[in-house]
Structure 1
Amino acid sequence: MTRTQVNGKVWMSAAKGAVLPLAILLLVMFMVVPVPALLLDIGFVTNILVSLAVLFVALNAARPLDFSSFPTVLLFATLLRLSLNVASTRVVLVNGHTGSNAAGHVIEAFGNFLIGGDYIVGIFVFSILMIINLVVITKGAGRVSEVSARFTLDALPGKQMAIDADLNAGLLTAEQARVRRQDVATEADFYGSMDGASKFVKGDAVAGILILVINIIGGILLGVVSHGLDIGTAARTYVLLAIGDALVAQVPALLLSIAAAAIVTRVTSEHDLSGQISSQFGVGRAWVPVAAILAFLGILPGMPHLIIMPAAAVAGFVAWRLRNAAKVAASAPVEAPPPENPAHIEWRDVSDHAVLGLEIGYGLIALVDERKDAPLMGRITGIRRQLSRELGFVVPMIRVKDNLALAPNAYRITISGVAVGEDEIWPDDLLALDSGALDGTVEGRHTKDPTFGLDAVWISPDKRNEAVIAGYTVVDPATVVATHLNHLIVHNAAEMFGMDEARKLLDALKEAAPQLAEGLHPQPLSLVHIMSIGRALLAEGVPLKDFRKIAEALIEVARPDMSVDATVEALRQRIGSLIIQTLVPVKMPLPVITLDAELEGLLAQAMRVSGDAKHPIEPALGSRLIDQVTEAARPLMAQARSFAIVTSPMARRALSRLFRPHLPETPVLSFLEIPDGKPVEVVAVVGNEARIGRPERVVAA
């Protein structure tokens, strides 16, 4: 591109930017500076041109947002018309005594051609136009704008949530979601602006009436007092000029009112207004009764037969053409899609972007069949909603699909393509779970509960009452799968928390606490660090729903040179109250299993020797620890009591990794994570010789 072309583009851009300021200055000039009649004629013609352009742009818009600048355009068009009214009023009052062409040829033409030079007729024509504009079109458009603005603003949160849900489900890309959010925000701004812009049209109509009255009264007074005209001549001269001036302003005002009404009453469609109306009126069976009724009216005595019968013939011809066109379209051969090329492979054939998946055998399809109420799908939706609230981020959509490679009654749960759980259920039976206090037995197919490994029996539905009386807990197959899915999502939440989820947490924090979000990201923590910290917390059962408190603690402890593990350990000591409240209520003591001093010394020595090793504990010592802690925890698990293993801060991370495969429900805490004043009940002390069964109650200092 040459320098001349670059300079030309810069000049054109600057010229476009200067058009609007110059136009506003011109409007002010019309209001303040006396202008000649020729310039006034140019202004009136420009006003008509702008009004026609606005009307036809509005009619050709496929949806209201396609003309989103309409409220601002309406403002400037109204200002143009009012400035011309001010300028014409000045000319009429100053030069009106010289004749009908005193205010230019446009006003003279409107006064002579539209009303035939009779000012009485002009007053009535102007009054009718004002009634149509002010009472009918403007009032209706204003009411539609008000209701549309209210409903659009009320629906705004729901639309935003729907976009987020589609984004999380993988139905939208991040760019598509951004565009949709922008469209939703623009729509709300547009209807809010239209609610106010409709008042411009109403005010303009009222101003037209007042200007007409001022021109008539002022003109007659000036003609009689200043120019010596008799009252009849003054009335004919000035009233004719005033009516011409009013009509030349009200015709464009009526066009703009029609444009405003067309915009606010539009329903979003792929067609413009003409195409939408023609497609909806293009129904042949709707025109048949129209032709029949007109024909019946045409044969009645006294009716204008030469007018009604041709109209009936036109309606009948339209009905015949439309019905023939529908028949041709229905009989047209449907173009078969081109056969798939077996050698052509798409990315969608080899990749599955769903994070969570549920594969079922063909015998379980009834559980997700919408024609049979899809009992499993409703439970899956409830699980996602509940877990999203508990974990602090939106759980991804769960893709359910059949898998012929599975047994008919088998199902498999996958996370990021990896199978994390599978089992077999019987869709026509019920699962009776052994509650541990049975008063009898029930016949059925013995099995294990897929979630917790409890003894269970598959029974027929007619044995439900018998099983309940015997002490079993009876659940349906959909509940079995849903419970298993819920359990696996909770224990694998870290696998579902990625960069996108971390970004959404930051975005939500930025809306609620912008300064806090700015102090957290991008310094001292990058998005990758925030994601890794979130995963580490979720892996140990710490939810992210109180992310604001977590962010405040991170700002206090995080440094750019700290590792993720060190940051997490320091963070846990600041959010100990968040961790504890997930285990026991505030006023209840926390049951804990601790290690004796000798064992803590061995672990501290191991930590110092191993450095940053992932598994620093010697295997024999680790095996003995697992056995003794499991033995100590067995009575607590039998009573379904929540408890924690408490150790020194140095050994906490290593012990957490050691115990997680064997006691996944049991958190490992350090002494520093227990808040001051929290009651603690020591139920067991594990050491070289475990001392179990001698509970002690202490208060953390």
Structure 2
Amino acid sequence: MNIFFYFYKNIYHSNFFKFKQLAIPLLLIIILSMMILPLPTFILDFFFTFNIILSILILLVALFTKHTLDFASFPTMLLFSTLLRLALNIASTRIILLNGHVGTLSAGKVIEAFGHFLVGGNFFIGIVVFIILLIINFMVITKGAGRIAEVGARFALDGMPGKQMAIDADLNAGLIGESEAKNRRIAINREADFYGSMDGSSKFVRGDAVAGIFIMIVNILGGLTVGIFQHNMSLKKAAATYTLLTIGDGLVAQIPALIISTAVGVIVTRISGDEDVGEQMLHQLFSDPLLIAISGCILGVLGLVPGMPNFIFLFFMSLFFILSWIIYNQKIQKDNIFAQKNNILLQKKELKLSWENVKIEKLISIELGSKLISLVNGNESTIFLKRIQGIRKKYANNFGILVPPVYIFNNESSKDTYFILIKGVIIATGKVIPDKLMALDSGNVDNNATLEGIKVTEPTFGMPAIWIEKKLEYEAKTKGYLIVDASSVIVTHLNFVIQHNLHELLDRYETSKLLERINQLMPGLVNDLTPNLISLTIFHKVLKNLLLEQISIKDIRTIIETLIDYAPSTKDVQELTSIVRLTLGQYIVQKIFNNAKEIKVLGLEHNLEKIFIKIVQDKNNQVLEPTLKNNFLLQTEKAIKIQDSLGEPLVLVVKHDLRVFISKILRTHFTHLVVLSDMEIRDQRKIYVTHFIGSKM
């Protein structure tokens, strides 16, 4: 007893005893052995019985499988079951030819039972039954299943790019994470592998059916030859004995083959769902009581035809009427229960609310009209989403800010219009035609050139444009037009909106994430800043002020070090921002003027500058009189046109104390005008003022 417990505890449950890993190799060795070594009839009966049980088990698993990949080993199972049947055919052929002259029991009881009981001992009837089974298996089930497997493999492979793009779309939109995307990709690859394997393995079943025909012919001819010439049997006795044994052997092999072929058909024709095949068929066949009642009426009419088996037809008519009545009552009960449950759920929802009921607006989103949904479906979606991802990468590289995921929604109230929203507020809108191209005048278009299409205004910059057919693309390019598609128009507009609203896209949560990242790269630097010197709120406001005026926060080390140096003396956000700007002055000037040897800028007229200084010094009333403000804006507009005509950057240089005040006035009217402090220009390049604003006021 102790030895038994020792074996059970230390061997059976040990890592060295891995039965599951050894089972298939052992089965393969046994199959190969049956092809080579002679087997006694008892062993042959055992494996014939095992073959029948295995085929029935495979069919039942196929019937009760709810998802195709739940039985992913099915193609390999087909290979082994086919090899097992062929090995049994070889082993039984050897025994039939060696011992067939002794009698029908020479090949075992299973073959004798199939040869005598199933076909009544009549070899002619056996041949007919065997041929019918072969025709059903070879011409109907196997051929149909093979064709479906081939088409399924083709569609599975063709559909892979679209499924992969759908995963990329969900990942880029932030709907799923990396791990879920990885699992989905693995499932898609497994599905394609499965259908590809099914396409190949169905050929095993088809080849097995063909082999059955040749094995039957060889067994009969070989048996007659051996019986007549080696054992001196009469032609009649040899034909009766060997033919019955061959038919019994063929039926023993073909019935499991027919079951396996049926399992193949079930697997490749089923639709994955939450129900198995039987539940799907019964639910869909007997779900509508009206159709069942109509079927019963048709049976009743046929049952009244003279000469028909009236009783049987009328019996099924009654059965269908009863079944229709039962299903109708069950449906009413289910509807009532469903309505009651819904009422209860609604009452619970009304009585109990949680934060899950609160809808939180996305930081940035796009709503597409019904005609524009094609841009996020199929091949178009990859291009569209990659362009959005490219914009996010651009701002991460250039400005040091991670633009949040752009969510895309369907706006059913619109057709060809798109809306760009920030925090639920519509910032920009436009119209595009998805199946056409937009032709823009790049400045090289001949005034006499004409192009057929719909004349519109480009939504981002207000340029004249024409929507043209795709076939006119080459003609438009030869005439000097710049060609863009619908997704490019939307993405360009999105880029414009993001650029001018970067400060709105940096919230406290993202700022805290930025600090966590800095703390990983430069431990201790963040601890010196917050919360010891300034709060997260002040730091966040400083970064927003920088982004508001299109200043990159990529050099976050310099920004933090500057705040550490000056935060002990002031907590004013505007003052801290100005100090940070002075520290980043060289970068700001470099970004605007590149490597130009001379800096040509706009300036303020001396008297106007005095007026502004006086207003700024009045801490209680820093308001610009309306007439003065309007004149200032008009003069600024003229100065911008002069600067633009010279091809110089639109930059206004003012005294350091005036920069914030002037910038606030001009920012909303002239988005491309940069207001610099004279203290921010620290390099040795010469500065020239091309025009003084206010010189004619």
TM-score range, shorter chain: 0.5 to 0.7
Structure 1 residue 400: Cα displacement: 6.8
1:319 aligned residue (320, 324, 336): 324
In structure 1, what residue type is equivalent to 2:292? W
Distance 1:59 1:480, change over 3 A: closer
Alignment of 1:609-648 (within 5 A): 628-631=599-602, 638=644
d(CA) in 2 for partners of 1:625, 1:273: 67
Structure 2 residue aligned with 1:489:
498
d(CA) in 1 for partners of 2:59, 2:586: 86
Per-residue CA shift, 1:328-375, capped at 9, x if unaligned?
2233342221534988754x57895945247xxxxxxxx8786xx799
Whether 1:688 aligns to 2:686 is yes
Distance 1:565 1:102, change over 3 A: farther
Structure 1 residue 50: Cα displacement: 0.4
Alignment of 1:242-281 (within 5 A): 242-281=246-285
Alignment of 1:266-345 (within 5 A): 266-282=270-286, 283-332=288-337, 333-335=339-341, 336-337=344-345, 339-340=348-349, 345=354
Distance 1:91 1:640, change over 3 A: farther
Structure 1 residue aligned with 2:364:
356
- Do the aligned residues in 2 keep the contact of 1:138 with 1:202 (CA within 8 Å)? yes
- Do the aligned residues in 2 keep the contact of 1:122 with 1:243 (CA within 8 Å)? yes
In structure 2, what residue type is equivalent to 1:487? F
- Do the aligned residues in 2 keep the contact of 1:368 with 1:376 (CA within 8 Å)? no
- Do the aligned residues in 2 keep the contact of 1:78 with 1:201 (CA within 8 Å)? yes
- Do the aligned residues in 1 keep the contact of 2:500 with 2:548 (CA within 8 Å)? yes
Per-residue CA shift, 1:626-647, capped at 9, x if unaligned?
89544499569736979899xx
In structure 2, what residue type is equivalent to 1:222? V
d(CA) in 1 for partners of 2:44, 2:387: 69
Distance 1:629 1:244, change over 3 A: farther
1:62 aligned residue (62, 66, 79): 66
Distance 1:59 1:540, change over 3 A: farther
In structure 2, what residue type is equivalent to 1:34? P
d(CA) in 1 for partners of 2:310, 2:136: 32
In structure 1, what residue type is equivalent to 2:290? R
d(CA) in 2 for partners of 1:692, 1:139: 85
- Do the aligned residues in 2 keep the contact of 1:64 with 1:263 (CA within 8 Å)? yes
In structure 2, what residue type is equivalent to 1:265? T
Whether 1:105 aligns to 2:115 is no
Structure 2 residue aligned with 1:26:
30
Q: Secondary structure at the match of 2:275?
A: coil
Q: Secondary structure at the match of 2:106?
A: coil
- Do the aligned residues in 2 keep the contact of 1:223 with 1:234 (CA within 8 Å)? yes
d(CA) in 2 for partners of 1:25, 1:395: 59
d(CA) in 2 for partners of 1:279, 1:413: 46
d(CA) in 1 for partners of 2:85, 2:348: 62
d(CA) in 2 for partners of 1:625, 1:397: 28
Structure 1 residue 141: Cα displacement: 0.4
Alignment of 1:207-246 (within 5 A): 207-246=211-250
- Do the aligned residues in 1 keep the contact of 2:420 with 2:429 (CA within 8 Å)? no
Structure 2 residue aligned with 1:145:
149
Distance 1:113 1:422, change over 3 A: closer
d(CA) in 2 for partners of 1:237, 1:482: 82
d(CA) in 1 for partners of 2:410, 2:209: 63
Structure 2 length-normalised TM:
0.60
d(CA) in 2 for partners of 1:216, 1:235: 8
d(CA) in 2 for partners of 1:90, 1:220: 14
d(CA) in 1 for partners of 2:587, 2:153: 70
Structure 1 residue 301: Cα displacement: 1.3
Per-residue CA shift, 1:557-597, capped at 9, x if unaligned?
xxxxxx9999xxxxxxxxxxxxxxxxxxxxxxxxxxxxxxx
d(CA) in 2 for partners of 1:624, 1:227: 107
d(CA) in 2 for partners of 1:642, 1:277: 76
In structure 1, what residue type is equivalent to 2:406? M
- Do the aligned residues in 2 keep the contact of 1:356 with 1:399 (CA within 8 Å)? no
- Do the aligned residues in 2 keep the contact of 1:133 with 1:254 (CA within 8 Å)? yes
Structure 2 residue aligned with 1:115:
119
Alignment of 1:653-664 (within 5 A): none
d(CA) in 1 for partners of 2:242, 2:258: 24
Gaps of 5+ in 1: 359-366, 403-410, 428-448, 455-478, 498-526, 530-537, 542-562, 567-612, 646-658, 668-684, 694-701
Structure 1 length-normalised TM:
0.60
- Do the aligned residues in 2 keep the contact of 1:356 with 1:398 (CA within 8 Å)? yes
- Do the aligned residues in 1 keep the contact of 2:299 with 2:313 (CA within 8 Å)? yes
Structure 1 residue 260: Cα displacement: 0.1
Structure 1 residue aligned with 2:194:
190
- Do the aligned residues in 2 keep the contact of 1:40 with 1:84 (CA within 8 Å)? yes
Q: Secondary structure at the match of 1:102?
A: helix
d(CA) in 1 for partners of 2:110, 2:684: 103
Gaps of 5+ in 2: 1-5, 395-402, 412-418, 432-457, 464-487, 507-519, 523-546, 559-578, 594-598, 604-638, 652-662, 675-682, 692-697
Structure 1 residue 175: Cα displacement: 2.8
d(CA) in 1 for partners of 2:33, 2:265: 31
Structure 1 residue aligned with 2:476:
none
Alignment of 1:355-504 (within 5 A): 356-357=364-365, 386-388=387-389, 396-398=405-407, 413-414=421-422, 485-490=494-499
d(CA) in 2 for partners of 1:206, 1:218: 18
Structure 1 residue 26: Cα displacement: 0.4
2:13 aligned residue (9, 13, 33): 9
Structure 1 residue aligned with 2:654:
none
- Do the aligned residues in 1 keep the contact of 2:142 with 2:205 (CA within 8 Å)? yes
d(CA) in 1 for partners of 2:256, 2:369: 59
d(CA) in 2 for partners of 1:286, 1:258: 28
In structure 1, what residue type is equivalent to 2:496? H
Aligned residue-pair number: 492
Structure 1 residue 321: Cα displacement: 1.3
- Do the aligned residues in 2 keep the contact of 1:58 with 1:67 (CA within 8 Å)? yes
Structure 1 residue 8: Cα displacement: 3.8
Distance 1:138 1:201, change over 3 A: same
Distance 1:36 1:422, change over 3 A: closer
d(CA) in 2 for partners of 1:71, 1:624: 66
d(CA) in 2 for partners of 1:201, 1:625: 71
In structure 2, what residue type is equivalent to 1:310? F
d(CA) in 2 for partners of 1:24, 1:189: 23
d(CA) in 2 for partners of 1:301, 1:47: 48
d(CA) in 2 for partners of 1:621, 1:102: 98
- Do the aligned residues in 2 keep the contact of 1:110 with 1:247 (CA within 8 Å)? yes
Structure 1 residue 167: Cα displacement: 2.3
Per-residue CA shift, 1:406-439, capped at 9, x if unaligned?
xxxxx9954xx7x9x9769999xxxxxxxxxxxx
In structure 1, what residue type is equivalent to 2:340? V
Structure 1 residue aligned with 2:540:
none
Bigger Cα displacement from structure 2, 627-636 vs 222-231: 627-636
Structure 2 residue aligned with 1:81:
85
d(CA) in 2 for partners of 1:482, 1:178: 27
Q: Secondary structure at the match of 2:117?
A: helix
Distance 1:424 1:20, change over 3 A: closer
Per-residue CA shift, 1:290-310, capped at 9, x if unaligned?
111111111111111122111
d(CA) in 2 for partners of 1:621, 1:59: 70
In structure 1, what residue type is equivalent to 2:330? A
Structure 1 residue 36: Cα displacement: 0.3
Q: Secondary structure at the match of 2:271?
A: coil
In structure 2, what residue type is equivalent to 1:209? I
- Do the aligned residues in 2 keep the contact of 1:160 with 1:181 (CA within 8 Å)? yes
Q: Secondary structure at the match of 2:340?
A: coil
Q: Secondary structure at the match of 1:690?
A: strand
